[in-house]
Amino acid sequence: MADRPKLTTTAGAPWPNNQDSISAGERGPLLMQDYQLIEKLAHQNRERIPERTVHAKGWGAHGVLKITGDISKYTKAKCLQPGAETPMLARFSTVAGELGAADHERDVRGFALKFYTEDGNWDLVGNNTPVFFVRDPIKFPDFIHTQKRHPRTHMRSPTAMWDFWSLSPESLHQVTILMSDRGLPISPMHMNGYGSHTYSFWNDAGERYWIKFHFKTQQGHKHYTNAEAEEIVGKTREGYQEALYNTIEGGDFPRWTMQVQIMPEADAEKTEYNPFDLTKVWPHADYPPIEVGYFELNKNPENYFAEIENAAFSPSNVVPGISWSPDKMLQARIFSYADAHRHRLGTHYESIPVNRPKCPVHHYHRDGEMNVYGGIISGNENAYYEPNSFSGAAEDRSAQEPPLRISGDATRYNHRTYDDYKQVRELFVNVLEDDEKVRLYGNIAGTWGDVPEVICERQLAEFKKVHPDYEAGVRAAWEKIKAEGGYKPNAAPVTDATPQITRGDAAD
C-alpha cells in the first residue's frame, strides 16, 4: 500500500473511505454532508456529452505525417514541404449508427485527420469514398434524417433511404459505392480515405491550384460480405476498435500513402463536369494522383474519451498554403462543424488538450465555456482587445491567401442540370468486376425487404439510366428474394413523386 498514490477529492484533499456512505446510525438514512457521495453521483450524471449528430461511433489513434515528395511549387504549407514530419490524430467512424452501434455495419466510413502543424491545426475531414450523396448542403439534413431513426417506429427505415435516393439521382454514384464491396471494409485499416471535396493550394507567388486529397491504404483493400459481417456482429459489436487498437498495441503500425490530384485554376472553366461538384471524381487519366508522402498511426489514445470523443475536427481548420474551393457542400461544412463543437464541447473547445494547437496561440476571444487555458487569450494583461498599444498579438499578412475569383448573379441555381450517370457508368462498366456486380445487386435488393414497390421501381429506373445491366441485375436479385418470400412491402401510403429530369436522362 505504501507506494500507491493517495486517493483524494477532486479538490485534492485526502479521502479516507470510498466504500461506506455516512449514515445516521448503521441502518439509518444518509447525510447531506457526505459531500463525496453527492460528488460521485453528480459526476456520474454528467459523464456523457452529446454524441456527434452524425459519425457518432468512431475509433482513433495518434500518428505522424511524413512528406517524401515535392509539391512545394504548388503550396507554401509548411507541413507539406519535403522532409516535413507532423504529429497527427485520426478518427474513423460510421455515419448513421449511434455511439453504441455495431462496427461492422454497411455504411460510409468517416476518415477525419487533424495535423498539428507549426502554423496551427489543419483538419481534413473526409470519408472512405471520393464522392457524396448530395451536392447541395440544403439537402444534407433531409438526407441524414433518412439515415437515422423513424420518428414513430424509432427504427431505421430503408423506405425513407430509398425514397430519398430514388428522388435524388445525384446520390447514384455514392449509393453504388456504398452497396459495392467498399461499403463494408473489414477494419478502418483496410480502406482508403478521400478529402472528397475540391480544396485549393496556394503558393508564395499567389497562384492557386485546385486539389483533391487521397490516402491509399498500404494494408490493402479487404471487405466483408453482408453475411460475414452479420456473423461478426453476432460475436462482437466492437470489431473495428479491437482491430485498430490491437494492431497498434502490437507495434504493427498501419500506413496510408498520401496523394494529391492537382488542377490548374483555369481548368475549372473547361472540364465537362463541375470540378466543385461533390458527386464527381476527377478522372485519374485527366489529373493523375501525385505521391506526397504517407501517414502512420503508431499510438493508441491513453484515454478514449479525452482524446477521441473530445476531438473536434473541422473543415474550417486550414493553414497558410491550403484553402477551400467554391464547392457548396464544403462551404456549408466550414460553418457546421465549429458550430457543432461549440454545442457538443463548449465555446472554447480548441483549448481541450487534444484539440489544442501545438504552436503558440494568440487571439482575443474572451471568457466562456471551456476556457481552461488563460494563456490562449493574449499573454499580456492589458492587451485584451485589438488594436491596442500594449504589444498585443498583431496580424500576420503573410497568411493572406490570394483572392478567390468568383462571379455571377446570386440566385438558387438548379443543380439538376448536371449529369448524374456518366461516372457511375464508368464505375459499373470499367471498375467493378463481374462477381462484385453480383454482390452489388444482392446488397441493394437485400435492403428492399419492406420498401414499397413504387419506390423500388423508381430506383430501378435510375439504375437503368446508368446501364441496363445494372437495372436487370438488381431486378433479378429482387425477384429471387420475392420468390423466396422475403419481400413484404410495408403499408405506408405512397403519393406520386418523380425525380427531376437531369441532363443524363436526355443523353441516354
Which residues sit in the known binding site for heme? Answer: 337
Query: Nearest distance from residue 493's CB to ligand NDP, in Å?
Result: 36
Contacts to ligand NDP from residues 176-235, by CB under 6 A: 177, 180-182, 192, 214, 216
Binding flags for ligand HEM, 192-211, as an x/- string (CB under 6 A): ----x---------------
Q: Which of 427, 445, 455, 474 binds ligand NDP (CB under 6 A)?
A: 427
What is the rounded distance in angstroms from the CA atom of residue 219 to the CA atom of residue 274?
Answer: 33
What is the rounded distance in angstroms from the CA atom of residue 320 to the CA atom of residue 140?
Answer: 29
- Contact call for residues 429 and 181 (beta carbons, < 8 A): no
List the grid coordinates of 415. 443543380
What is the rounded distance in angstroms from the CA atom of residue 124 to the CA atom of residue 194?
Answer: 9
54 binds ligand HEM (CB under 6 A): yes
- Contact call for residues 491 and 153 (beta carbons, < 8 A): no
Residue 317: CB atoms within 10 Å:
23
Give the nearer residue to ligand NDP in terms of CB position, either 110 or 130.
130
Burial class (CB in 10 A: 0-12, 13-18, 19+), 107: buried
Query: Nearest distance from residue 28's CB to ligand HEM, in Å?
Result: 46
Give the nearer residue to ligand HEM in terms of CB position, either 333 or 458.
333
CA nearest neighbour of 216 among 190, 183, 251: 190
Q: Which of 115, 202, 324, 337 binds ligand HEM (CB under 6 A)?
A: 337
Residue 491: CB atoms within 10 Å:
8
What is the rounded distance in angstroms from the CA atom of residue 195 to the CA atom of residue 127?
Answer: 7
Q: Which of 431, 497, 501, 507 binds ligand NDP (CB under 6 A)?
A: 431
What is the rounded distance in angstroms from the CA atom of residue 19 to the CA atom of residue 119?
Answer: 49
- Contact call for residues 149 and 341 (beta carbons, < 8 A): no
CB burial of 205-218 (b: ≥16 within 10 Å; e: otherwise) equals eeebbbbbbbbbbe
415 binds ligand NDP (CB under 6 A): no
Binding flags for ligand HEM, 306-335, as an x/- string (CB under 6 A): -----xxx---------------x--xx--
Side-chain-side CA neighbours of 237 within 13 Å: the count stands at 8
Decide which of ligand NDP, ligand HEM, none touches 182; Cβ closer than 5 to 8 Å per partner kind.
ligand NDP
What is the rounded distance in angstroms from the CA atom of residue 146 to the CA atom of residue 164?
Answer: 7
138 binds ligand HEM (CB under 6 A): no
Give the nearer residue to ligand HEM in terms of CB position, either 340 or 438.
340
- Contact call for residues 49 and 345 (beta carbons, < 8 A): yes
Give the nearer residue to ligand NDP in terms of CB position, either 282 or 294.
282
388 is catalytic: no
127 is catalytic: yes
What is the rounded distance in angstroms from the CA atom of residue 326 to the CA atom of residue 334?
Answer: 11
Fill in the amino acid letter for 278.
L
338 binds ligand HEM (CB under 6 A): no
Q: Which of 172, 432, 444, 460 binds ligand NDP (CB under 6 A)?
A: 432
241 binds ligand NDP (CB under 6 A): no
137 binds ligand NDP (CB under 6 A): no
130 binds ligand NDP (CB under 6 A): yes
Query: Nearest distance from residue 331's CB to ligand HEM, in Å?
Result: 9
Catalytic residue positions, numbered = 55, 127
Interaction site with ligand NDP (CB under 6 A): 130, 177, 180-182, 192, 214, 216, 281-285, 423, 426-427, 431-432, 436
Interaction site with ligand HEM (CB under 6 A): 52-55, 58, 91, 93, 110-112, 125-127, 132, 137, 140, 196, 311-313, 329, 332-333, 336-337, 340-341, 344
